[in-house]
Amino acid sequence: MLELAAIALVKVVILSFGLLTAAAYLVLLERRVAAWVQDRRGPNRVGIPLTSIRLFGLGQPLADGLKFIFKEEFTPSHVDRWMYTLAPISILATALAVFAVIPFGDVLTLGGERTIELVVAPGFDAGAIYVFALSSLAVYGVILGGWASNNKYSLLGGLRSSAQLIAYELPLSLGLLGVVVVTGTLRLDEVIRTQANEGIWFAFAQPLGLIVFVIASFAEAARLPFDLPEAEQELVGGYHTEYSGIRLLMYLVAEFMHMITASFLIVILFLGGWHFWGLTDAAAWGIEGEAVPLWLGVVRIVVLMAKVFVVILFFMLTRWTWPRFRFDQLMNLAWKVMLPLGIANVVMMAVVAEFEVPLTDRLGRGGVIGLTWVGTLLTLIVAALLVPLHSDNRRRSIEPDLFGTS
Amino acid sequence: MRADDPAIRWIEEPKLGLSGKMYLPLIFQGLTTTARHLVGPKRTVSFPEQRPNIADPLIYRGVHRLNRDQEGRVKCVACFLCATACPAHCIDIVAAESPWPDREKYPEHFVIDELRCIFCGMCEEACPVDAIELTSLFDLTGRTREEMFFDKEKLLSVFDQTKDAEPPKSAGLPPLQRPEEEHHS
């Protein structure tokens, strides 16, 4: 018992430090990628302090963090002090707590016998539900911050954010549901193992689910096509307008944490987790039995992290590709496009799961997957033909001038 | 303004094809553009190590210089046209009787307050003898305000520094031939 607690504690410490450092360096990566996309170089000067060694700007996160920490911790006089302090703590705490059930590798075998599962709470059967419950709690941090700031722009940012997060929770869950229906488990490590055993990632087996899930998780993480909660240009920063110093830092770190969570979920649910053909298969290396040697465990961690990195890079590139949606476009997309697409995906996956045996007998595994792709394409075409273009905001008819304002 | 105001011109949006309405092809088209810029050449000049390439020093407006004539004397005739033209009032000239026979006056003191100067180039435009010119030196710094008052010697030394890289803009012209002055009352 004590030993279990000790192992869990070590995992918690490693994971928290790793995540916070990762968030700091992702800020640097974000700035560099932003610069590169705009044909600039980005911050490349800050290196080791007190020397002239530059290290491609790797000292920048340290400088940024110190700046935030040593800034005056200013509390405006018109805010609700308790809530004002509680909001960033709650959002960061929930963002970190999500990682209790997210596997960051497979298993590590130490000393030949002992295996350590690389997840803080191993064998938690409701893992996926826990993830979604906690990421919904992020809304509270946002709306609490907006409310406590006692500022109309912050409140508007908080309101917009809560509406958005609630709207996109549904397609996100529907994307997950497709995976759960097929695998029959809510444990994220089991989902990876299913994909690894079969050698077919769910990205190939459920393309529609991938599309719905990725777009919805962009909205959940409030990344750029969906960053209405912040919307620097419109809401002067949204819910964290009144925040500065270390509290603002907590908000910013939590934001990056949401992006990391979303990337982990995309990789685990749809991109095979730590699996990569030939590289992580025990059989391909000629290893007998179930045991996973230490080095293979490390290879699997590296593969998982590499995939997460690629997805994060995709997040950052999309930021500079797609302009922000207007609020009505955002809502239209959620309720009129993403929700039907998600339902179509669930129905398709339910059919595949129910008639798996006869379908596979008749068509083979490849045939079933091909059928899914045809279904996906048809669904997308139908959606494209039926959904009106949301970019067009002209008035179709002249409404009566009720208020005589003209 | 009403929506049916005749002054409003409604523009038809280009029609999207099926692939456009499906969004995803357009997203990938956009992503290729972004990715191309991600790895493409960068425009930033890493300044202290790398000097920016000034396309045409002739029209660049940097630090001033006072030109010398062929004999090495200051070209300025202390006519005060530059000081009059200067919108920032940063040129201070003290004229004196010229020791040379070819002109009446010369500047005994010629001071430009570089901190006050807005680098508009009006002095260069106003100068009748092409004595004051703006060079392409742009990174002038100093530790005190006094250091940034550029006097005649300093301005002449700027000329000595830059004359090879940037020959005087009137170098090709013959020396100014003045007709015998008639006094207008």
Domains of chain B: which residue ranges? 64-169
Most confident residue range from A234-248, B42-56, B143-157? B143-157
Which residue in A has a C-alpha nearest to residue B41's C-alpha? A39
Whether B23 has its CB under 8 Å from any CB of chain A: the answer is yes
pLDDT at site B144: 92
Q: Which comes out higher in pLDDT, residue B4 or A44?
A: A44
The rounded distance, in Å, linking the Cα atoms of A284 and A115 is 21
Residues of B in contact with A318 (CB under 8 A): 27, 31
What is the average per-residue pLDDT within B143-152? Answer: 91
Give the pLDDT band of residue B32 (cuts 50, 70, 90). Answer: very high
Whether A115 has its CB under 8 Å from any CB of chain B: the answer is no
Helices (H), A1-126: 2-37, 60-70, 81-97
Per-residue tokens: B153: 């010697």
For A305-335, the pLDDT digits (tens) are: 999 999 999 999 998 888 888 888 888 888 8
Whether B33 has its CB under 8 Å from any CB of chain A: the answer is yes
Question: Looking at the predicted structure, is the pLDDT value of residue A397 above 80?
Answer: no
Which residue in A has a C-alpha nearest to residue B12's C-alpha? A392
Residues of B in contact with A40 (CB under 8 A): 42-44
Question: Looking at the predicted structure, is the pLDDT value of residue B26 above 70?
Answer: yes
Give the pLDDT band of residue A36 (cuts 50, 70, 90). Answer: very high
Q: Which helix (H) or strand (E) covers residue B140, if one does?
A: none
How close A17 gets to chain B, by Cα (Å)?
30
Helices (H) and strands (E) in chain A, counts: 14, 2
Question: Looking at the predicted structure, is the pLDDT value of residue A251 above 60?
Answer: yes
Is residue B60 within 8 Å of residue B134, measured between CB atoms? yes
Q: Which comes out higher in pLDDT, residue A260 or A236?
A: A260
What is the average per-residue pLDDT within A85-94? Answer: 90
Question: Looking at the predicted structure, is the pLDDT value of residue B171 above 60?
Answer: no
- What is the overall mean pLDDT for chain B? 85
pLDDT at site A310: 94
What is the average per-residue pLDDT within A232-248? Answer: 78
The rounded distance, in Å, linking the Cα atoms of A122 and A100 is 9
Q: Which comes out higher in pLDDT, residue B94 or B72?
A: B94
Whether B34 has its CB under 8 Å from any CB of chain A: the answer is yes
How close A39 gets to chain B, by Cα (Å)?
5
pLDDT at site B174: 52
C-beta atoms of A392 and B23 within 8 A? no
CATH 3.30.70.3270 for domain B64-169, yes or no, is yes
For B89-139, the pLDDT digits (tens) are: 999 999 999 888 888 999 999 999 999 999 999 999 999 988 999 998 888
C-beta atoms of B33 and A392 within 8 A? no
C-beta atoms of A37 and B38 within 8 A? yes
> Residue A127 contacts by C-beta under 8 Å, 6 or more apart in sequence?
A101, A102, A121, A186, A187, A188, A189
Question: Looking at the predicted structure, is the pLDDT value of residue A164 above 80?
Answer: yes
Q: A296 to each of A98, A104, A109, A267, A308, how far by Cα in Å?
A: 26, 14, 9, 19, 18
Angle at A17 between CA A14 and CA A22, to 5 degrees: 115
pLDDT at site B170: 67
Mutate to test the interface with A, among B16, B18, B21, B26 (most CBs of A within 10 A): B21
Q: A202 to each of A175, A218, B93, how far by Cα in Å?
A: 11, 19, 81
- The Cβ of residue A250 has, within 10 Å, a number of other Cβ atoms equal to 22
Q: Global pTM?
A: 0.82
> Residue B44 contacts by C-beta under 8 Å, 6 or more apart in sequence?
A35, A39, A40, A41
Which residue in A has a C-alpha nearest to residue B37's C-alpha? A37
What is the average per-residue pLDDT within A237-255? Answer: 84
- What is the overall mean pLDDT for chain A? 85
pLDDT at site B114: 92
Burial class (CB within 10 angstroms; exposed 0-12, middle 13-18, buried 19+) of A127: buried
Q: What is the DSSP letter of A222?
A: T
Question: Looking at the predicted structure, is the pLDDT value of residue B78 above 70?
Answer: yes
pLDDT at site A260: 92
pLDDT at site A395: 58
Per-residue tokens: A53: 């060694």
Tracing tokens 């040129």 back to the chain, one arrives at B91
Q: Choose the weakest-confidence range: A55-64, A267-276, B8-17.
A: B8-17
For A210-220, the pLDDT digits (tens) are: 999 999 999 88
Give the pLDDT band of residue A402 (cuts 50, 70, 90). Answer: low
Helices (H), A320-355: 327-332, 339-354
Give the pLDDT band of residue A389 (cuts 50, 70, 90). Answer: low
- ipTM for the predicted complex comes to 0.76
Per-residue b/e over A346-363, b at no fewer than 16 CB within 10 Å?
A: bebbeebeeeeeebeeee
Per-residue b/e over A299-323, b at no fewer than 16 CB within 10 Å?
A: bbbebbbebbeebbebbbbbbbbbe
What is the average per-residue pLDDT within A4-13? Answer: 87
- The Cβ of residue A6 has, within 10 Å, a number of other Cβ atoms equal to 10
Residues of A in contact with B46 (CB under 8 A): 41
Q: Which comes out higher in pLDDT, residue A306 or B7?
A: A306
What is the average per-residue pLDDT within B2-10? Answer: 78
Give the pLDDT band of residue B64 (cuts 50, 70, 90). Answer: very high
pLDDT at site A66: 87
pLDDT at site A239: 80
Tracing tokens 């700035």 back to the chain, one arrives at A31
Beta bridge partners, B92, equal B111
Taken in order A289, A295, A301, A304, the sign of the CA dihedral is negative
pLDDT at site A406: 46
Whether B13 has its CB under 8 Å from any CB of chain A: the answer is yes
pLDDT at site A404: 54
For A348-363, the pLDDT digits (tens) are: 999 988 888 888 888 8
For A172-219, the pLDDT digits (tens) are: 999 999 999 999 888 888 898 888 888 889 988 899 999 999 999 998
Q: What are phi and psi of B150, to 5 degrees?
A: -90, 115
The rounded distance, in Å, linking the Cα atoms of B82 and B124 is 7
pLDDT at site A197: 86
Percent of chain A with pLDDT over 70: 93
Residues of B in contact with A383 (CB under 8 A): 22
pLDDT at site A403: 57
